[in-house]
A and B are shown apart, each in its own frame.
Chain A
Amino acid sequence: MSIIDLTSMGEPQKDIKNQINNRLKKLQDEVSEFCYQCAKCTSGCEAHKLLELEPHKIVALLKRGLIDEMLNSDVIWTCMSCFKCRERCPQKVAPVEILFALKNIAVASGKPIPGKYSAMLQSILSNGLIQDVQTISDRNNQAIKRDKLNLPDLSKPVDTNKFQLVLSKLAIEKI
């Protein structure tokens, strides 16, 4: 199974498109409605301090239905998932969750997945974890691996076939 199978969405998969539309509509109706654009979310946003993310504008764009613009913009991938906006919004809007949804939709509609997400996903598929055991260096530049440290075996899925089968199903029912 490849990443493409898991993340891209072929044209004929109408169901998924409907699901995406439903999810967006739900976000638009139920979530963005409550936002009164106070920008408290942006005032504490960790990504705003450094990059160009303005969570209150994300909510405003969603309200106006400018979804494609957001799906095509790298800005949705600058959120650091600090959850400050969700914690502090007086209207319980949670821009961070809108951003997660937008990223999911971007991936589901076949847009490229940035950075190391694909590698992490591939690793989860093959051994259940985002990465395999790493060789690290200590302060004296000695190479150290888990098995030299007298630690128990790594806990990971025992029946990998069953595990992979479920995850591949998830790809189809992703929303």
Chain B
Amino acid sequence: MKKYVFYPGCVMPTEQYAYELSIREIMPILDIELIDVKDFSCCGEPMKSVNQLMTIYLSARNISIAEKEGYDIFVPCPMCHLSLSECQNILENNHEINKKINEMLSSENLCYNKPINIVNTVDLIHDIVGLDKIKKLVKNPLNKLKAATHYGCHLIRPSEIGRPVDSENPQKMENIIKAIGAEPHDYSEKLDCCGAMINTNLPESALTKTGQKLVAVQNYGFDVFVDVCPWCHRMFDSKQKKAGETVAAKLDMPVVYLTQLLGLSFGIDRNKLGLNLNLSPVDKIKFGGK
């Protein structure tokens, strides 16, 4: 059993419950033990437009809290994952900021000492658990299910600070999806952004981005759209109806978290995976061919 400190962030534990439920369901099956810790805060990334030093401080305090536990940290949200990774990069390479941040951390009785491994859902499942193990756990192979993936911008870029997947041709989600029997296919819009970051100030434009991508995916004839980011999922699933209205299209696309799809293939009860919480038409997802 490998142990990780579980860093939930903001959006997942306050709203995107399906992601958290499905993670907590499948991780023990994958022999991963998650350690819940008190005192975490926002990763800071949503504040990067307002005050970048606040972003670095908030990320640094979360890393310091995890570091005290003595385990690596599992960060399911790509935005948090980028924020923590970039912060660690800055603290390792910029002595001045490191000193300043540590001075501030000391007033919360915290200290950043050394880098820790920061893992996301995709690399945890693909690289650490491994595809062989996944294949052995499958009880309901999702045969012939045509799946489109969406990684989320923050998971794939910028590669210079180290991201868990390739920046121009990410394939790890595809490999995982193949391992559970489904059929992933690449498509031209695969790397397009969901628009979530401007949902804060330009919701109409954000929904247009979401809608445009879903229209493309739907027109290609995909059966399911798979994501791993609570911000993206909020756009593609929770706001799918609004996105459709914004681009004047009838959207009817099942959107699931990768962890939900894995759970389904492992034969876990739908409600335990939070599938009742998806607002997109996930009941359309069929097992073992059509």
Please list the residues of chain A having a beta carbon within 8 angstroms of any beta carbon in chain B. 6-7, 46-47, 50-51, 77-84, 86-87, 92, 94, 100-101, 103-104, 107-108, 113-117, 120-121, 124, 128-134, 136-140, 144, 146, 149, 151-159, 162-163, 165-167, 169-171, 173-175
CB-defined A-B contacts under 8 Å, sample of 12: A50-B205, A78-B205, A83-B153, A120-B47, A120-B200, A133-B14, A140-B276, A151-B20, A151-B24, A154-B14, A156-B39, A169-B104
Q: Closest CB of chain B to A162's CB: distance in Å? A: 5
Given contacts A7-B50, A84-B191, 8 further A-B contacts (CB under 8 A): A81-B48, A81-B154, A113-B50, A130-B42, A130-B46, A134-B15, A152-B36, A158-B39
Known contacts A82-B157, A155-B36, A163-B108: A170-B14 contact under CB 8 Å: no
| CB-CB nearest 7 A-B residue pairs | A115-B201, A128-B41, A83-B157, A114-B201, A155-B40, A46-B193, A82-B153
Please list the residues of chain B having a beta carbon within 8 angstroms of any beta carbon in chain A. 8, 10-11, 13-15, 17, 20-21, 24, 36-42, 46-54, 57-58, 100, 104, 107-109, 153-154, 157-160, 167-168, 191-193, 195-198, 200-202, 205, 208-209, 238, 274, 276-279, 282
Contact of B202 among A46, A115, A153 (CB under 8 A): A115
Q: Closest CB of chain B to A87's CB: distance in Å? A: 4
Most buried by B among A7, A50, A153: A50
Known contacts A87-B158, A115-B201: A80-B209 contact under CB 8 Å: yes
Contacts of A134 in B (CB 8 A): 14-15
Contacts of A113 in B (CB 8 A): 50
Q: Closest CB of chain B to A84's CB: distance in Å? A: 7
The residue of chain B having its C-beta at the shortest distance from the C-beta of A47 within the complex is B198
Contact B52 A87 (CB under 8 A): no
The residue of chain B having its C-beta at the shortest distance from the C-beta of A140 within the complex is B276
Contacts of A80 in B (CB 8 A): 153, 193, 195-198, 209
Contact A139 B278 (CB under 8 A): yes
Contact of B52 among A104, A131, A144, A156 (CB under 8 A): A104
Contact B50 A163 (CB under 8 A): no
Contact of A139 among B17, B205, B276 (CB under 8 A): B276
Contacts of B108 in A (CB 8 A): 159, 162-163, 166
Contacts of A169 in B (CB 8 A): 104
Q: Closest CB of chain B to A65's CB: distance in Å? A: 22
Q: Closest CB of chain B to A75's CB: distance in Å? A: 11
Contacts of B50 in A (CB 8 A): 7, 103-104, 107, 113, 117, 121
Known contacts A104-B50, A115-B200: A144-B39 contact under CB 8 Å: no
Complex formed: what's the CA distance from A139 to B191 in Å? 28
Contacts of B100 in A (CB 8 A): 173
Contact A151 B153 (CB under 8 A): no
Contact A146 B205 (CB under 8 A): no
The residue of chain A having its C-beta at the shortest distance from the C-beta of B24 within the complex is A151
Contacts of A115 in B (CB 8 A): 200-202
The residue of chain B having its C-beta at the shortest distance from the C-beta of A173 within the complex is B53
Complex formed: what's the CA distance from A46 to B224 in Å? 24
Contacts of A124 in B (CB 8 A): 41-42, 47, 58
Q: Closest CB of chain B to A57's CB: distance in Å? A: 19
Known contacts A82-B153, A131-B10: A155-B38 contact under CB 8 Å: yes
Contact A174 B51 (CB under 8 A): yes
Contact A166 B39 (CB under 8 A): no
